[in-house]
Every structure is written in structure tokens, then in C-alpha cells.
């Protein structure tokens, strides 16, 4: 059992990481929830694997309801919210009840936003079932839905009451979704932890990493915990977690969230922004190649075949673009990141026709 605690005053919460933890979920939920009803929100990939078992575990103490949504990024939209609100109203959930998000980042973000807005806010618990959600999106309280113009453009900061991470659920994931999560794991090594990056290099595949997986997840979550405690509302240090994301979100949007997954797009974004930074003398030569090699070893892409000029409009709508200044995250070296204030010209100046 590994336990971390996100210290945010009245918004503090525990994170548990343990193989087989879902079979004891009721014990952990009871530590933070004394109400009567739980609504489990999941998707049609995850619920058949874990939903009924989790519902059975919780039903011994709580009145449990469930809602199953289609899987995929397209579900993370305003059009999905009425179905969640309607299910909670039908079950007569009150402000003293709980919403539990069982799934990957899409379900966690969407259900979290529903919890933040239903009756002006009810408790919610994150039970992430993808590697990407376990190491990143389930922790930190960012909840959101997408708009046609861009990803996560409508959302809130709304912390969960509890995060339950069971690494064993990852063994049922298709290889592509493991690789997807490894994009975020590699990101943590790039921005904050050269030793983690070196360990990932030494193993070179998810299968080789399996025996170390709970510890790797804990290290990533602990990095995020520390950063979130310093900067809950994403105005300073927390921006470092967005390494690669400025380009990633625009790539995802360009293909209508139907081609590159989030982790794949982050992988491309990390390599390409580092390559551009090297050309401008902002990152040491050879850093991008160092990143490229580890991406390849974990089955991740480093290019998408688009000219930069095709992405500029979406870049200008990025949440990190404030008062005409765009904050991009760059590397002094592997494990040492910094925020570089610039503008969209960072991508267009002598680079508009560059293929990424």
C-alpha cells in the first residue's frame, strides 16, 4: 500500500496506490464519505470489466446507481452532461451524495465537471483505469469538457475527495493505451526527475517496467502532488506539467480527436517544441534527440506530418495564452524545465512552413 496526501487545506485528499485495491474500495470511500447514495459514471469499455464488481463492493454499505457512456474523446462534451445530470436527478442524488468516476481521463474530466456543477457541487471520487489517468489527470482537480474550437476550454478546478489507483487494471488495456499513458510518464521525467527518465531508458518497454509499475506511478503522482500544492490554480509552477501540451492539444483538435491519442500528441509536442527550442538556442543541442529515442522505445510517435502554420489558430486559443503572452514549457536539460513567456510567433517565426 502506498498513500500520498494532497495538502490543500479544506480541499485536501488522500491518494491510495495498491495492486488489487478495488476489492477494498468501500473501506477507503467510507473514510471520506458518510452519505447514502453513489452514482458510478463509467464508459462502455471499462464498466463491463470493473463496474459491476465495484458496484457490488460498494452496495453493501451504499445505495449505488450507474451510468455507462460511450468511450472516446467525443464523449467529453456538453452534449454528454445532460445525461449525467438526468441520471443523478432520477436517482435523487442530493448535495450529501457522491459521484464516482470509473474510467480514463475522459470519464474523470467529464464526471468531475458534472460533480462540480450539479447542485453547485457534490463530492466525487476518482478511480482511474488508464495509465494516463492514474499518473496525471485523476490528480489535481482539473475537470473540463471540450469545445469544437479546442480541448478543455470549459472547466473548473474541483478537487476530488479521494483517488484510488489499482495498477492491476492496466493489464487489461490495449497496447496503444499503455503507450498513451507512457507519454505522460516520460513527461514527468523530462520536467522534474532525471532519475525517472534514466530508469525508463533502462527498461525500454512497458513489459520490462511492470514489476516497477506501482513505484513509477507513485513517483509521477508525487511530482504532481508537490506541484499542485504549490500552485493549485495553474498560474505558475503548475504550468510545467503542460510540457508538450501546447502543440498536443492543437494536434488533437486538428484531427477532431480521432487520430492521435492525448499521450501520443503529448509525445509529439514534447519532441517538436524541444527541437524548436534548440534551434532558438533555448535548450541544449541533443536534448530533442534524447527525447526522440525514448519515445521510439515506448512505441510513441514524434511527428504528425503537419505544417506549423496549420496549427497557429488553435494555439492562440490555448489556455496558456494570457494577455497576448503565451507561456510555453521548455527544458534546460532532462529533468530541469522552465516556463518561457513568448507569443504565437515562437512557432511562426522562420518556422511557419516547418513540418512537425
Residue 57 lies in a domain: yes
Residue at which a domain ends, from 121, 156, 172: 172
| Residues 74 and 145 grouped into a single domain | yes
Q: Tell me, what CATH number does 233's domain have?
A: 1.20.1090.10
pLDDT of residue 318: 60
Q: Are 65 and 55 in contact (CB under 8 A)?
A: no
* Residues paired with residue 42 on neighbouring β-strands, in sequence order: 68
Residue 288: per-residue pLDDT? 97
The total of other beta-carbon atoms located within 10 Å of residue 36's CB is 14
Residues 109, 233, single domain; the answer is no
Residues 73 and 198 in one domain: no
For residues 27 and 162, membership in a common domain is answered with yes
Helices (H), the chain: 25-32, 52-59, 81-90, 105-117, 131-132, 175-192, 194-203, 206-209, 213-230, 245-254, 262-279, 287-297, 312-316, 345-348
Are residue 238 and residue 279 in the same domain, yes or no?
A: yes
Domain boundary among 113, 147, 172: 172
For residue 215, the enclosing domain spans 175-348
326 and 337 both lie in a single domain: yes
Q: Is residue 356 part of a domain?
A: no
Indicate if 80 and 194 belong to the same structural domain: no
pLDDT score, position 211: 87
Q: Are residues 210 and 162 part of one domain?
A: no
Domain-embedded: residue 283: yes
| pLDDT at position 272 | 96
Q: How far apart are CA 355 and CA 334, in angstroms?
A: 24
- Looking at the fold, whether 139 and 207 belong to one and the same domain comes out as no
Asked if 216 and 131 sit in the same domain, the reply is no
Number of structural domains found in the chain = 2
CA dist., res. 163 & res. 166, Å (int):
10
Residues 119 and 69 in one domain: yes
- Residues 80, 227, single domain; the answer is no
Average pLDDT by stretches of 10, the chain with 356 residues: 94 96 96 97 97 96 97 94 98 97 97 97 97 95 91 94 96 89 97 96 90 93 95 90 93 89 95 96 97 96 89 68 77 97 80 69
Instruction: With 0.75 as the threshold, say if the pTM is over it.
Output: yes
Per-residue pLDDT at 325: 80
Residue 355: inside a domain, yes or no? Answer: no
Inside any domain, residue 353:
no
What is the residue-wise DSSP string for 55-81? HHHHHTTSEEEEEEE--SGGGSBGGGH
Amino acid at each position: 500500500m502506498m498513500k500520498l496526501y494532497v495538502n490543500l487545506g479544506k480541499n485536501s485528499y488522500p491518494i491510495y496506490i495498491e495492486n488489487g485495491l478495488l476489492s477494498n474500495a468501500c473501506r477507503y470511500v467510507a473514510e471520506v464519505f458518510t452519505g447514502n447514495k453513489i452514482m458510478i459514471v463509467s464508459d462502455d469499455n471499462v464498466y463491463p470489466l470493473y463496474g459491476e464488481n465495484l458496484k457490488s463492493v460498494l452496495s453493501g454499505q451504499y445505495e449505488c446507481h450507474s451510468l455507462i457512456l460511450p468511450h472516446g474523446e467525443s464523449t467529453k462534451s456538453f452534449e454528454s452532461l445532460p445525461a449525467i445530470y438526468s441520471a443523478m436527478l432520477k436517482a435523487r442524488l442530493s448535495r450529501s451524495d457522491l459521484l464516482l468516476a470509473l474510467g480514463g481521463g475522459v470519464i474523470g474530466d467529464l464526471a468531475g465537471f458534472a460533480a462540480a456543477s450539479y447542485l453547485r457541487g457534490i463530492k466525487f471520487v476518482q478511480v482511474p483505469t488508464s495509465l494516463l489517468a492514474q499518473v496525471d489527470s485523476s490528480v489535481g482537480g482539473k475537470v473540463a469538457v471540450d469545445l469544437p474550437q479546442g480541448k478543455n476550454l470549459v472547466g473548473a478546478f474541483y478537487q476530488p475527495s479521494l483517488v484510488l489507483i489499482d495498477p492491476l487494471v492496466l493489464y487489461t488495456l490495449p497496447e496503444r493505451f499503455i503507450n498513451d499513458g507512457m507519454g505522460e510518464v516520460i513527461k514527468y521525467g523530462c520536467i522534474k526527475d532525471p532519475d525517472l527518465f534514466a530508469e525508463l531508458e533502462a527498461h525500454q518497454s512497458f513489459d520490462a517496467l511492470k514489476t516497477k509499475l506501482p513505484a513509477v506511478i507513485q513517483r509521477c503522482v508525487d511530482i504532481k502532488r508537490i506541484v499542485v500544492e504549490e500552485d493549485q490554480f495553474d498560474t505558475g509552477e503548475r504550468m510545467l506539467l503542460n510540457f508538450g501540451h501546447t502543440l498536443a492539444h492543437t494536434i488533437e483538435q486538428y484531427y477532431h480527436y480521432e487520430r492521435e491519442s492525448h499521450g501520443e500528441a503529448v509525445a509529439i509536442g514534447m519532441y517538436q517544441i524541444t527541437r524548436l527550442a534548440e534551434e532558438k538556442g533555448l535548450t541544449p543541442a541533443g536534448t530533442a534527440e534524447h527525447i526522440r529515442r525514448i519515445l521510439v522505445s515506448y512505441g510513441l510517435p514524434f511527428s504528425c506530418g503537419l505544417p506549423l502554420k496549420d496549427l497557429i489558430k488553435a494555439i492562440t486559443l490555448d489556455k496558456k495564452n494570457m494577455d497576448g503572452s503565451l507561456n510555453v514549457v521548455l527544458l534546460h536539460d532532462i529533468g530541469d524545465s522552465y516556463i518561457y513567456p513568448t507569443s504565437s510567433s515562437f512557432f511562426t517565426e522562420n518556422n511557419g512552413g516547418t513540418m512537425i
